[in-house]
Structure 1
Amino acid sequence: MLKITEILMDYEKEQTGMDHMPQLGWKLESDGRNIQQEAYELDIALDQDFCDCVYRSGKVMENASAQIMVKNISLKSMTKYFVRVKVWAGKEESCWAETFFVTGILNTQEWKALFITAENDEDAANSKGTYVRKDFCVNGKVKEAFVCTTALGLYNFYINGKKVGQDELTPGWTSYRKHLCYQTYEVTDCLKQGENAMGAILAAGWYKGKMGFDGLANTRNHYGDRTAFLARMAVRYEDGREEIFVTDTSWTGEDAPVIFAEIYDGEVYDARKEIPGWAEPGSNGGNWRAVSAVDYDMNVLTAQGSGKVREMDEVPAKRIFTTPEGDTVIDFGQNMTGHIRVHARGKAGDVIELHCFEVLDAKGNVYLDNLRGAKEAMKYTFAREEEISYAPSFTFMGFQYAKIVSFPGKPEVENFTAYTLHTKMEKTGSFECSNQDLNQLAHNILWGLKGNFVDVPTDCPQRNERLGWTGDAQIFCRTACFLMNTYSFYRKWLRDVEADQTPEGGVAHVVPDIITGNTGADWLLQQGSHSAAAWADVAVINPWTMYLTYGDKEILRLQYQSMKGWIDFMKDHSVDYIWNYKLQFGDWVALDAEEGSYFGATPNDLTCTAYFAYSTQLFVKIAEILGRTEDVKAYSELHKKIVEKFQKTFFDRNGVMTAQTQTAHIVALYFGLVPEKYREKTVNGLLKLLDKEDGHLVTGFVGTPYFCHALSQNGHVKEAYDLLLKDDFPSWLYQVKMGATTVWEHWDGIKPDGTMWSPDMNSFNHYAYGAIGEWMVRVAAGIEIDEKNPGYKHTVIYPRFGGNLGWLKAEYKSVYGPVKAFWEDQGEKAVLHVSVPANTTATICLDRAKKVTEADGLEFIQCEGYMKAETGSGDYRFVFEK
C-alpha cells in the first residue's frame, strides 16, 4: 500500500507565520520494495475543501518528493493556506494527504503598528517586568483571526486572560538592530463577540538585560534600554469584513509582579503585585499609565514560522536530601536547561526560593563556583493563603540540582518538576548498541544539544556567558543535524551570522555579536572579536552540512554571499596563502597546551591555513552546485594554491609534518591536505603520536571532532574504536564513568578525586566534544550521506565492526523517511538489517565480508575489504561470513 505519511514545509510539519512560499516535500511509505515515485499532484487552496484553489499543479511526471518550489503564486498576509498532495508509483496511487501553513506579514508597510513601552529612561538600569494592555471590541461573528507579535526584550502575549500559544522566551535572541523575528498565532478561538482585551508581559531578556561574561563586566542594554511590544491582529468576520487592531499609544502600561528577571540571574515574582484580570476586558485594578512609542526599523522584522522555544521534557524531582553542610537540595537526576515548576501551598508573605546549580563538590556539598557571576535563582512571594503552581517565564537555568533556600512547610519531591527549554525540533536520530557506556555517551550528546539549542547555539547554559560561540556550533553541526531536525534553527541563526559579518566579510566569534566594541577588560578578546579559524568557518561549513542533510540548495543560495565574503576575508588577509589573523583560538583547550594556557600546541599558521583550504574547497563545491561557473574557476585556483602552500610549509623534505601534534596530522588528513606520496607516513605519524599518549587523545576543539575519522578513513578502524572506548582520563567515556549526563567542557571537569577543574571555565553541559556522535553514526552505524545525491536520496550503508560490540543500531528520519541500520557481530558470521525509504536508493556495504549466505534478493560484488550491492527502497536482512 502506498501512502504519504507526512507533508513537510521548509522541512517542518508545522509552519505558522511564513513570509515566503515554503518548499514542499513529503514522505512515502509502502510495503513493497524498490518504490519510486513516478508522478505527483499538488493543490494549494484557501479552504479546506479545496474549492478555492490558488494553485493546481495537475499531474506532474516527476519523482521529486522534496524541495518542491511552487512559483507564480501570490500569497496574502496573515492567511491560512491548505495543501494537499497525492502521488503515483507503478500501479499504485496514494490517497490525498493534507496539511496547512499560515503566512505572516508579507509587506512591512502593512504593520501600521508601533513598538510601545511602559518603561522610561530611568528604567535602563533595572530588570523589572511590565504590563501593556488594551481593550477592544469584536463587532460580529468571527470567521478567523490571526495576530503577529514580537518584542524588544522577552514577552508573553495574552487575550482575555489566557496566554496565547505555547512558545517560551519569545522572540528569542537575534542581532536586534539588523534582524528581529516575530511570531504568528491563530487566535480565532480566543475571541468573543463584544468586549475583549489583549496584553503582554515584558522583561529584559537578551535585549536590555545583563549579557556577556566576566571580562565584559556583564554589561547591559546591548541593543536598547527600554523593553517594547509590537502587535498586529487581523480579525475577519463571517460577513466578509476585516478589522485590524495594533499596538499604539492608546494602550496603557503598569509594573508587573515580575519584579526582576535576567537570563543569568533568574526571576523574582511577587504575587502581591498581581493585578487580577489585567488582560481581561474592563479591568480596573492597578495604576495604569500611558505608554510611549519606541523608534525601530520595521524593515528588519522577519517571520518565524517554526523553530521557537518550548517546554519539551518533563523531569520530576528524583530525591531531596541534606548535604554535609546542611543545605536542603533537590536532585533531578539529569543535567538540563530549563526551569522548575513548583506546586506548593503557602500563606501571605511566604517565600519560595531556589538556587539552581550543576554538580556537587567532592564532599557532596552545593558547588556554585563554576557559575561565575550567574545567580540562577528563582523566588516567589505568596499574596495570600492559597495553592500555587509557579515557574519562571523570562529566564532559564542550567542545572541538575536546586538548593532550597526557603519553602513553606516541608518540601517533598512531588512539589518540584523540571521542564527542559529548547528550540522545538523533532528528534530525528537514534543510536544504541551493546555497550552501555556508549549508550550513555549517546544520551549525553543528545542532552548536550537540548541544553544548548535555546534559540541560538550557546556554548553553555549555566554560567554568565551562554553565548552563540561559532566554533562550538561548527564542529557539532553534523551531529546535531543527525539528532534533531535543526533546519529552521540553523537557518534563523545563520541569518545573524551574516548580519554580524564585518564589511570585509569577517565572522564574529559569537553570534549574535555582543563582543565587538564591548571587549571590556577581557585580556583575550581585546586581541580581536572576529575571524578565528574553525570558529568563523561556520559561515561555510554549517550551510554545507545542511545541504548534505536535507539536500537543500536554498540554504546555499541564501548564505552564498556570506560564504563568499568569508573566503575573501581569509584571502585578503593571508600572506602568500598562509592565513592567520589577530586573535586565533587554535586547538582550543587541547591537552598538549603549555601549563596554564588554553591554547593547544598546534601552530595557528597550520590550523588557520588548513581551514582556509577546507572552507575554500567546500565553497567551490557549493558554487558548482549553484552554477556559479566564474566562482568555480576562481576559487578552484585559490584552493589549489592554498594546498600547495600548506604542503610546502608544513611538510619537510622527507614528508614529515613540521608540527608533531595529533591535531596537525588529523586536520591534514581529514581536510585532504596530505600529498598522496606522504599519506602512509602521515597516518603512521598520527599513530605514533597516539601511542605516545598510551592511546589517548590530547586534542582540543580543532582536532577532536575529526580524530576517529582520520583513523578510520585511513584503514585504522580498530584504533578509532579503541580511542572512542577509552574510559580513563582523557576520554569521552571518562566523563560517563564519572556520572556525567551531558558532555563536559573539559575532559576532566571533575577529577578522579572529585575535585574540580578551574572554576573560571568549567561547564558540565558543553556540547562541543559531543561531535564524536558524527563518527558513531557515519562509521560505527555506517549511515552515510552520498554527497552527489544529498538529503539521503541515495544512502551508503557501510557499518564498520569493532570495539567488541555485539550489536549496534541507528536510525535517521530523513526528509524521505527512516534510514535504518542494525548489525549483529556473531564472530565469524554477521547479520545486517537495513531499511531504505521509498523513493530513494542505497549502496549496501558488508564490512570484511568474504561470502554472503543470505543476500535477500540482492547481488553482491567483491571489493577490497568488503562486498557491496545496490538497492532501492525496502527492508532487508543479510547474513555473511567474515
Structure 2
Amino acid sequence: MKIVDQKCNYQFNPIGISLEDIVFTWKCVETLGTKSVKTRFIIAEDDKIEKVIHQEESSEIASPYHPEFICDAGKTYYWKVCVTDDAGDYCESGVSSFEGGHPDGQFSGMWITPKFSHELHPVMRKVFSLTKDELEKIKKTRLYICGLGLYEAYINGQKVGNDYLTPYFTDYRYWIQYQTYDIGKLLKEGENTVTVYLANGWYKGKFGYMAYGQMCEYYGDKFLLIADMILSGDGFEKRICTDESWDCLKSPVASSGIYDGEVWDFRKQKNILGAQGREVSKAVAAKEPVGKLTPMIGTPLRAHERIKPSEILLTPAGEYVIDFGQEISGWVEFTNETEKDNRVVLEYGEVLQKGNFYRDNLRTAEAKYTYISSGDKDRARAHFTFFGFRYVKVSGMTLEEIKRADFEAVALYSDIAETGFIETSNEKINRLISNTKWSQKDNFVDIPTDCPQRDERCGWTGDAQIFSGSASYHMETPSFFRKYLKDMLFEQGEKNGAVPYVVPDVLTIGREKMAEPEHDLTEDKWGEAGSSVWGDAAVIIPWNMYLHYGNKVWLSEQYANMKAWCDFMIHMEEEHCQGKRLWDCGFHFGDWLSLDVEGDAAGMDNLEGGTDKYFVSSVYYMTSLEITSKAAAILGKKEDAEKYHVRSLEVRKAIRDKYRTGNGTISINTQTAYAIAIWFDVFDEDETEVAGNNLIEILKKWKYHLATGFVGTTFLCSALTKTGHAKEAFTLLLNEDYPSWLYEVNLGATTIWERWNSLLPDGSISGTEMNSLNHYAYGAIVEWIYTMVCGISVDEDHVAGKKVCITPHVDERLSFARASVDMPVGKYESGWEINNDTVTYSFTVPFDGEAVFVPDKEITDITLNGDSISFDELVKRTFSKGNYEIKASYRQ
C-alpha cells in the first residue's frame, strides 16, 4: 500500500493558511485489500513525529478528515496517517506539514504609503543587515505581507514565492488576505534589501463595466503596504517590519490596470536596489484599510502551462501577430535585446478578422503591455495584470527580433489539481471537452469570472453556479469556491440574504459611487442583486461541493449562505408576490441568451429568453429550498430541514397548479421549460414519459437543435436522457451546424463561447457589445458527458466517490467513450466501446470505493470478466476495488 495526495485544505504543505475548519485528505493506492478497516491520524510538532500532540485511531476516520484540536498560528505542524486494510496490508504515509498565519494574530508593522501622488506607482524598500552569527542562529524565516492594490516582493533582487496578483481579489471592505512566505534561501550575510512593487489591481484600479468601464478606486485610493519579516531560532528573533524608515521610490511601472494592461520602463528598473538621494523619499504611516487582515483561505494563483507560438503571421494590414494556437488567461514572456529607449508593445486579442488583428469585442479594455528597453538583455512579462488571448500583435520589433525573443505564453490560474479526463472516438468532441476545461482554467483566476479578456472579468454568480458541477469533475474545486462563498456571505449580510449578480460585489459599490438610488428588488429592472439562478449559487455551489467532496465541515460553514438565500426568497414571495408560493416579481435573468426568441439575432434585446422567467425563478425557488432542507438534515438542523422541505412542496404544488395543463404537459412550450421541469421533478414520476415525449416534439420543431440559454442548456441533454431519449441528446452533442457546440469547434474555437453565434459561419464576429469567446457556462454539457455518457456521477446517495452508480449510455455514432475522475477516495474510470454487435463496458473502482453498474438498457449475452452473468445479477451486484470488463450483445 502507498498513501498519496496528502493535503491540508486541498493543498500540499500549505503555510499561512486560516486554521479555521481545516481538513485533511489522502488516498491509498496499490493496496492488497479493498477498503480500510483502521486509520490512525497523527499530528506532531516535529517532522520525525516524536512530539505528538494529537492522534486518533478509528475505523471511522476517512478523507476528508477534520480533527478537533486547537492549532497555534505561526507554528509548523507535521502530520501523517497510518492505514490498515481488510487484507491486513498496512502503510504509514510520508510526513506532510501545514502552518497557520502570523504567530501574533496581528502585525507588528504599520500600514505605510508613499508621500508622492497616489497616481504614481511606488516601490517600497528596506535595507537590513545580517551577521554571520545571526544567520547561523536562524532556523525559521517568514515574511508575512500584504500590499494594496497588488504587490510583488523581492529580496536581494529575487522574487519572493511563485504566486501572482497577490493579495488576490476579495471584498476589501470586509477582509483582505495576507500571504506567508519562507524566505530562508533568499537571505545572505551582510546587507540585504527587500523591495516591494505596488500596483492598482482590483482594489484601486479601473474595474467593472459601469460608467463605460471607466470607474476606478472601488475600495481605496492609496497604495498601501504592511509586512513583518520574522527571523527566529533557539532563543533568537529578529523582526524587520514596515514603518516610516522604509524608502519609497518611483516605480518602473508607469501604469497598470486589470483591463488596460501595463507599461514597464526597464530603464528605471536597474537602479531600484541602489537608488539614493533625491530619488528616494521616506514612507509615511497610513490609515489602515477597513477590511480585516486574514490568513489565506483561497488557493494561490500560479503560472501553469507554457505555450510556444504555433505561427508568426504577417497580416494583410502589415502587422506581426503571434498565434499561440490556444486561448488562455495570463501573459506573454519574451527576451528583449532591442536598443535603449525602444518601445515594444504587445496587444492581446482573441480572434483575427479578415486575417488581421482584432479586439473590438474587448470594449474599453486596452489589453496592452508596453516595454521600454534599457538596452540590456532582459526577460519581460506583465506583473500586475492578466490578459485573455490567443493572438498577440507585436510592435517595436523586426521579424528577426521576434524570432530571437523566445516568445512564450504563460497560463495563469488558481492552483487546483486537474481531476477529470474524457476521451471519445470523435476528435471534435474531444476538442469540445478540451475547450470546456480551458475555459474553466482561464476563468478560474482567483474568482470564477465570466470572461478573462474584456472590460468585465467579474465573478458572475449565475455562470459559477451553472458550471460548478462540471468544474468539480474537471478539477479539485472546494478550496477555490470556499473563498468565493465567504465573500458572497459578507455581501448577503448587507442585502437581507440576497446574492449579488457578481461577487465581490462591485456593482453595489459602483452604484454608490455614482450616487444612484438603491435598487428596488420588487421592480422588474436590472439591478445588482436578487435574481434567481444567479442567487441560487448560494445554495447549489455548496451542495455541489458536498456531493463531490463529502466535506461536511465546510458544508456546515457554507450553510449560512444557503439559509440566507432561502430566507430572502421566502421574504420576497411572502411580502411582494402575494404569498402564493410563486416567485413572480422582480428582475430575473431567465434563460439568459436563449435562442427561442431569436436571442442571438436580436442583439441585446430579449436576452431573458422565451421561457417565462417567473416559471424559471419559481422552479429554482423550489429546488434551493429542497436542497437546503437536505443540507440541514445532514447537519442535524431538524427544524430547518422540515421548514424548507414543507415550503418546497408548497412551491411545487403552486407551480403545478399554475403551469401544468395535463399529464406530463405544461403551458410553456419551450425546451428550457420542459428540461428544468423534468430534471427538477416538477412532474410526478408517472408523468415523466409524456413530458419527455413533449420535449421531443418541441425539439422536432427546432429540427433537433437546441434553442436554450444559460439555464436550459445546462439540463437539456440530462432531461432527455432521464426520459429515455439519450439518442436525441447525443444528436444535440454531435450536431455541427448552428446552433451547436461543434459549430464553434468547426470555426476553430479553443474555448467555449458566450453566445451560440459569437462568430458567424464566415468567421466574422457577430457583435461587439457583449461577445466573449471564453465563457464557460455552455460548457456545462461536459457534466452530462462525465455522468451519462461515460457514467461516473455523484449524487446525494453516492457522495464523494464512496459509492458510485455507473450508468453509461451508448450511441453507435461514437465507437468509444471513456472517462476518469479522481474522487476523494481515489480514481474511478468508466467507458465503453462498440465493435460490430458487441459493446464492451469497462470500469475501475478504487480502494475504499464501491460501485453499482446500471447500463442504459437491458443488455443480453453478458459476460463479466469472462464469466457469464444475468442482467438481474449484474445490476444487483456491488463492486469493490478492482478492474471490470463487461461484454454484451449490442443493438441500437
Q: TM-score, normalised by structure 1?
A: 0.94
| Match of residue 190 from structure 1 | 186
Q: Percent of pairs identical after alignment?
A: 34
Is 1:259 aligned to 2:268, yes or no?
A: no
* 1:826, distance to aligned residue in structure 2 (A): 1.9
SS at match of 2:854: strand
- After TM superposition, the structure 1 stretch with the greater mean CA deviation from structure 2, 674-683 or 500-509, is 674-683
Q: In 2, Cα distance between the equivalents of 1:106 and 1:603? A: 55
Residue of structure 2 equivalent to 1:446:
437
Distance 1:30 1:454 in 2: 35
2:597 match = 593
The Cα of 1:295 is off from its aligned counterpart by 2.5
Matching of residue 557 in structure 1 with residue 556 in structure 2: yes
* 1:299–1:226 CA distance, 2 compared to 1 (3 A): closer
Q: Deviations over 1:440-472 (max 9, x none)?
A: 001100111111110111111111111111111
Aligned 1:262-411 pairs, distance under 5 A? 262-276=257-271, 278=273, 284=276, 287-296=279-288, 300-304=292-296, 307-361=299-353, 363-384=354-375, 386-407=376-397, 410-411=400-401
**Contact 1:859-1:869 within 8 A present in 2 as well:** no
Query: What amino acid is aligned across from residue 727 of structure 1 in structure 2?
Result: E
Moved more, 568-577 or 649-658: 649-658
1:722-781 Cα deviation digits (max 9, x unpaired): 111111000001000111110001111111122221111111111110000100100111
Deviates more, 1:82-91 or 1:840-849: 840-849
Deviations 1:138-186 (A, max 9, x none): 4612111112212221100112221110101111111011121111111
- What letter matches 1:174 in structure 2? T
Q: Classify the secondary structure of the residue corresponding to 1:618.
A: helix
- Aligned with 1:514 (options 500, 506, 526): 506
Give the equivalent residue in structure 1 for 2:3. 4
Deviation at 1:508, TM superposition (A): 0.2
In 2, Cα distance between the equivalents of 1:561 and 1:869? Answer: 39
Q: Matches of 2:36 and 2:25 in 1, distance apart?
A: 12
Separation in structure 2 between the aligned mates of residue 453 and residue 337 of structure 1, nearest angstrom: 9
- Whole-Å Cα distance in 2 between the matches of residues 376 and 450 of structure 1? 19
Query: SS at 1:757's partner residue?
Result: coil
In the TM superposition, 1:646-665 aligns within 5 A as 646-652=655-661, 656-665=665-674
Deviation per CA, 1:207-256: give whole Å up to 9, x if none: 0100111555420000000121121222112x322233322222121111
Q: What CA RMSD, in Å, does the superposition of the two structures yield over aligned residues?
A: 2.2
SS of 1:764's equivalent?
coil
Q: Kindly state the Cα deviation for residue 664 of structure 1 after the two structures are TM-superposed.
A: 0.9
Q: Secondary structure at the match of 2:347?
A: strand
The letter of the residue matching 2:802 is: K
Match of 1:495 among 478, 481, 486: 486
Per-residue CA deviation, residues 58-117 of structure 1 (Å, 9 max, x unaligned), is: xx23153212222233x2222221112211113211133221112212654x32222222
Asked whether the equivalents of residues 15 and 306 of structure 1 are also in contact (C-alpha less than 8 Å), the reply is no
Query: 2-side partners of 1:216 and 1:632: how far apart?
Result: 45
d(CA) in 2 for partners of 1:654, 1:38: 50
SS of residue matched to 1:220: coil
In 2: Cα distance, 1:7 partner to 1:803 partner: 41
1:232 aligned partner, one-letter code:
D
Q: Give ranges in structure 1 of 5+ residues lacking alignment.
A: none
Contact 2:862 2:868 in 1 (8 A): no
Q: CA deviation at 1:409?
A: 6.5
Contact between 1:37 and 1:64, CA under 8 Å: does it hold in 2? Answer: no
1:695 and 2:704 correspond: yes
TM normalised by structure 2 equals: 0.93
Q: 1:85 aligns with which of 62, 81, 87?
A: 81
State the Cα distance separating 1:299 from its structure 2 match: 6.6
Tell me the CA shift for residue 406 of structure 1.
1.7
Q: Distance in 2 between matches of 1:655 and 1:810?
A: 34
Q: CA deviation at 1:852?
A: 5.4
Aligned-partner Cα distance in 1 for 2:44–2:663? 69
Query: How many residue pairs get matched?
Result: 865
1:847-880 CA distance string (max 9 Å, x none): 435345431399966359x845211112222222
CA deviation after TM superposition for structure 1 residue 484, in Å: 0.9
Equivalent-residue separation in structure 2 for 1:530 and 1:845 (angstroms):
42
Distance 1:684 1:849, change over 3 A: closer
Letter in 2 for 1:347: E
- Separation in structure 2 between the aligned mates of residue 588 and residue 253 of structure 1, nearest angstrom: 49
* Structure 2 runs not aligned, ≥5 long: none
Task: Tell whether the 8 Å contact from 2:80 to 2:92 is kept in structure 1 after alignment.
Answer: no
Q: Matched residue of 1:94: which SS? A: strand
Q: Please state how far the C-alpha of 1:580 moved relative to its aligned partner.
A: 3.7
Instruction: Map residues 770-849 of structure 1 onto 2, 5 A cutoff.
Output: 770-802=779-811, 804-849=813-858
Q: Is 1:478 aligned to 2:469, yes or no?
A: yes
Query: Is the aligned partner of 1:720 residue 2:729?
Result: yes
Task: Confirm or deny that 1:872 pairs with 2:880.
Answer: yes
Letter in 1 for 2:199: A
Amino acid at match of 2:648: H
The alpha-carbon deviation at position 828 of structure 1 amounts to 2.4
- Aligned residue number for residue 766 of structure 1: 775
Q: Quick check: 1:528–1:582 contact (8 Å CA) kept in 2? A: no
1:3-48 CA distance string (max 9 Å, x none): 212212122333221221621222001254x511111222222221
What does the per-residue CA deviation read over 1:263-300, in whole Å, with 9 as the maximum and x for residues that have no partner? 0011101112225352xxx7637622122233235772
Mapped partners of 1:77, 1:620: distance in 2: 36
Change over 3 Å in CA distance of 1:214–1:497 after alignment to 2:
closer
Cα distance, 1:807 vs structure 2: 1.1
SS of match in other structure, 1:38? strand
In the alignment, the residues of structure 2 paired with residue 859 and residue 425 of structure 1 have an alpha-carbon distance, to the nearest angstrom, of 43
The corresponding residue for 1:566 is: 565
For residue 434 of structure 2, give the secondary structure of its aligned residue in structure 1. helix
Give a deviation string over 1:362-403, Cα, whole Å, max 9, x none.
x2122221011011111111123x222100100111111111
How far does the alpha carbon of each residue in 1:664-683 deviate from its partner, in whole angstroms, 9 at most, with x for none? Answer: 11111111112345333322
Distance 1:408 1:229 in 2: 40
Partner of 2:216: 220
CA distance in 2, matches of 1:654, 1:879: 39
SS in 2 for 1:496: helix
- Structure 1 residues 634-688: Cα deviation after superposition (integer angstroms, max 9, x where no partner): 1111111100001011112565311111111111111111234533332222111
* Structure 2 equivalent of residue 133 of structure 1: 125
Q: Deviations over 1:570-610 (max 9, x none)?
A: 11111211114432111111111253422201111101101
1:802-845 CA distances to partner (integer Å, 9 max, x unpaired)?
15111111111112211111321124222122111111111123
Distance 1:285 1:357 in 2: 43
The 5-angstrom pairing of residues 160-175 of structure 1 reads: 160-175=156-171
Counterpart residue type for residue 244 of structure 1: R
Q: Is the 8 A contact 1:725 1:803 kept in 2?
A: no
CA distance in 1, matches of 2:475, 2:69: 32
Mapped to 2, the partners of 1:165 and 1:256 lie a distance apart of 20
Partner of 2:155: 159
Q: Compute the displacement of 1:302 (Å).
A: 2.1
